[in-house]
Structure 1
Amino acid sequence: MELYLDPMHPGLRYGYTTGTCAALAAKAAAQALLSGKIPDSVSVRTPKGITVCVPVEKGTLQNGAAVCAVRKDSGDDPDITNGVLVYAEVKQAPGEEVRVDGGIGVGRVTKKGLACPVGEAAINPGPREQIRHAVLAAAEELESVGGFEVVISIPEGERLAKRTFNPRLGIEGGLSVLGTSGIVEPMSDAALLESIRLEIKVLHAAGNERLLITPGNYGETFAKQQLGLSDAPMAQCSNFIGDTLDILHREGIKGILLVGHIGKLIKVAGGMMNTHSKYGDCRMEILCAYAALFGVPQGSLRRMMESVTTEAALDVLKETDKLEPVMDAVTQKIAQEVKRRAPELPAELVLFSQTHGTVGKTAGADRMIALFRELREER
């Protein structure tokens, strides 16, 4: 697609969703089935109102079915599905309905709380409607009546799905076919936030009222190996601390244990609710400010400020015998900021370092950990 977020400054190019790809492939296959000829290209109008026209690849006609594929173009959005082929197989069927299912590489829903019922292919309602509309449009163009069966496949889907949230969401065997507007906006955080929301929703739908939240793999590993919480209901929030707190509140979660590395969560003490480095890096400044309040000598403060990592800065702080009081104060400040953002969400914190282990925790953290362990034993 040659459509840009800012036409005056090209560089952020729009793409189209897997849902639009599925609709394009389904329309091409329907045209091939009804005309007896594989089309060279196919177009659909997306829910956003943008028409997408693409070449048709890998078309076949045999045994009363037509198969066509189109290639995903994610534009300038960092999407792992960019360039994959999305296939649609179309057959005529009794009745007037267009029935849509998933084939190879399209995941199956195994947990409640998602847009699709348990047992169905992970093709969201929006894309399903896109696919149905596209097939019916092809039938109308070729003056055909009757029902159709459509099977969407993504041969690379099972491999790629391992790099997504799908395994956590209870979507097994492949990718989800997603897309509300049909268009991928470049460099958008919306898709990741939606994944976080869905993960929390699925966990809540499974009966979990308290969740373990961690920014990433380091926190998850620490929680499992050092806190003994390998079976706790857990969701990763990436850098989106504030947005995740908002989601947790909206979804009705009754309490959380936030476990994170000091290098990530110390930014929250400075009021940063998105901890990505592009929004700032105040790690050493915050740590040194608190160290100064507890009388850490200027020479040590200078060494801390010159440290490349918070791990190295904590090594210096430990030499001054001020590690514990400083980290207690930092932990309380983080807790205050979390409370400010989500005042009605009970939250406990555990901060850790790879070298020094647990370096801070709120007063109720041990009780929350015990609740998770009791829940594991009950199960």
Structure 2
Amino acid sequence: MKKLRSGYTTGACAAAGVKAALLYEAGLSWQNISLTALDGTKLTIPVKDVQRQDDGICAEVVKFSGDDPDITNGVSVFTTVAHAEGAGAMVFRAGRGIGTVTKPGLAVPVGEPSINPGPRELMRRAARELLGTSDGLIVTVSIPAGAELAKRTLNPVLGVEGGISVIGTTGVLRPMSEEGFKNSLVPQIDVAKAAGYEDLIFVPGKIGENLAKAWGLPAEAMAQTSNFIGFMLEAAAERKIPRVLLFGHIGKLVKVAAGIFYTHNRIADARLETMAAYAAATGLNAAGVRDILQSNTTEDALTILQQAGLEQQVCMALAEQAGRRAKRYVFGKLEVGVVMVTLQGRLLGLNETARAVGETYHWHLPEE
């Protein structure tokens, strides 16, 4: 098996830029920078260019993500270092393409550049290594491609405006994209909680999100889960969220009724089998059960249930079971409401917890 290559984070790029700028200022070689990541890993990062500009010394480092499918791979990270007499601790500024935090609940306060604590510490260490201190420096990080790239991240949801975030826990980017992606979802919970929302709405994707908004549920209380419904439920339970409303297409949420909490179709896919079992329990004849099992999609299976006059009964039972299985998954630490809908937004089923959460937020429930 091919060994996957590690890379370095945007934060490590910025730290290498700080060190390169200070080496350039001292008349020393700056082309290849040695850094020690926050986990002790030794990194060697090439620097593309360093120039003295009106606002300081600017170093350009090209991001290398290794074999991790990171959207910032190959982009240029520009770090400008300037001295400010009498200044205290290192000051961080958002240059072109770097976002600014506008909502509480993230790792840095509202109004600050979206440069996470890990990258900030790496930059301080880079300065201390050469100067003995990191005080008295103003560091501006720019990623010109960041404003466009931010549209492909959760930054707009999290309240980071104007660009991308400078992230990285240690400085090393290891090819563990699934784990990294899961962890990137969790701040949505913290932001919603910090905004004062006790009950949250979890949406697997855009279908659920858009419909939930159309029904009057607050966007600020929503968090995207992607396929990691169980992981996000656990994160909510750890943060003592009292109730979560799962709102989405039946194709995703029927899996939860079957006890599947990582819903990628290549990991587990019992959608039709689950619908067929509940339909049989509700009275569908053997021929109808076989038709459901041979359906291409859950939407096709719904047509069979409609023809048999069993759609509402089956879907309500699936929503109830999904809520029970989800609550059991987190050992009863929170209540879970479930709303299942079609691609066109038609309500199929919901449980009582869903109704209670929806009424708390004064939703506009369509006719059942």
What TM-score, normalized to structure 1? 0.89
Q: Secondary structure at 2:266's aligned position in 1?
A: helix
1:367 maps to amino acid: A
Aligned to 2:202: 213
SS in 1 for 2:177: coil
Distance 1:150 1:362, change over 3 A: same
**Structural RMSD (CA):** 2.2
Does the Cα contact within 8 Å between 1:99 and 1:148 map onto a contact in 2?
yes
Q: Paired residue for 1:59?
A: 50
| Number of the residue aligned with 2:239 | 251
Q: Who is 2:83 aligned against? A: 92
**What does residue 314 of structure 1 align with?**
302
| Alignment-derived partner of residue 168 in structure 1 | 157
- Whether the 8 Å contact between 2:105 and 2:191 is mirrored in structure 1 is yes
After superposition, residues 264-343 of structure 1 pair within 5 angstroms as 264-342=252-330, 343=332
Structure 2 counterpart of 1:76, from 58, 62, 67: 67
C-alpha distance in 2 between matches for 1:201 and 1:350: 23
Closer, same or farther: CA 363–64 of 1 in aligned 2, 3 Å? closer
**Alpha-carbon distance between aligned partners in 1 of 2:134 and 2:113, rounded to the nearest angstrom:** 26
Q: For structure 2, which runs of at least 5 residues remain unmatched after alignment?
A: 364-368
Partner of 2:143: 154
Secondary structure of 1:105's aligned partner: coil
Contact 2:9–2:65 (Cα < 8 Å) also in 1: yes
Preserved CA contact (<8 Å) 1:26 1:88? yes
Q: Quote the Cα distance in structure 2 between the aligned partners of 1:89 and 1:50.
A: 25
1:237 matched to 2:229? The reply is no
- Residue 35 (structure 2) pairs with residue 44 (structure 1): yes
Which residue, out of 183, 194, 212, partners 1:194? 183
How far, CA to CA, are the matches of 2:135 and 2:320 in structure 1? 66
The amino acid that maps onto 1:76 is: D
Q: Could you say which residue in structure 2 is the equivalent of 1:131? A: 123
Residues 78, 187 of structure 1: 8 Å contact kept? no
Q: 2: distance between equivalents of 1:259 and 1:130?
A: 40
- Is the 2:90–2:134 contact (alpha carbons within 8 Å) kept by the matching residues of 1? no
Whether the aligned pair in 2 keeps the contact of 1:15 and 1:73 (CA below 8 Å) is: yes
Change (3 A) 1:64 1:107: closer
Separation in 2, partners of 1:93, 1:16:
29
* 8 Å Cα contact 1:311/1:355 also seen in 2: no
* TM-fit CA distance, 1:97: 4.2
> Residue type of the partner of 2:180?
A
C-alpha spacing 1:230/1:99, structure 2 compared with 1 (3 Å): closer
* Gapped regions of structure 1 (runs ≥ 5): 1-8, 375-379
Q: 1:203 to 1:109 in 2, by over 3 A?
A: same
3-state SS of 2:186 partner: helix
Query: Would you say the 8 A contact 2:124–2:134 is kept in 1?
Result: no
Structure 1 match to 2:107:
115
Check the 8 A contact 1:123/1:177 in 2, yes or no.
yes
Matching residue of 1:351: 340
Normalising by structure 2, what TM-score?
0.92
Per mean C-alpha deviation after superposition, the further-off stretch among 55-64 and 260-269 is 55-64
One-letter code aligned to 1:255: R
Identity of aligned residues (%): 41
Judge conservation of contact 1:259–1:349 (CA < 8 Å) in 2: yes
Q: Deviations over 1:46-73 (max 9, x none)?
A: 1122222122123212347211111111
Distance 1:51 1:366 in 2: 53
Contact 2:195 2:220 in 1 (8 A): no
Q: Residue 361 of structure 1 aligns to which amino acid in structure 2?
A: L
**Alpha-carbon distance in 2 for matches of 1:216, 1:368:** 19
Counterpart-to-counterpart distance in 1, 2:358 and 2:58: 52
Contact preservation (8 Å) 2:246, 2:336: yes
| C-alpha deviation, 1:323, in angstroms | 1.2
Q: Distance in 2 between matches of 1:92 and 1:34?
A: 13
Cα distance in 1 between the residues matched to 2:230 and 2:90 = 42
Q: Please say if residues 262 and 268 of structure 2, whose CA atoms lie closer than 8 Å, have aligned partners that are also in contact.
A: no
SS of alignment partner, residue 221 of structure 1: helix
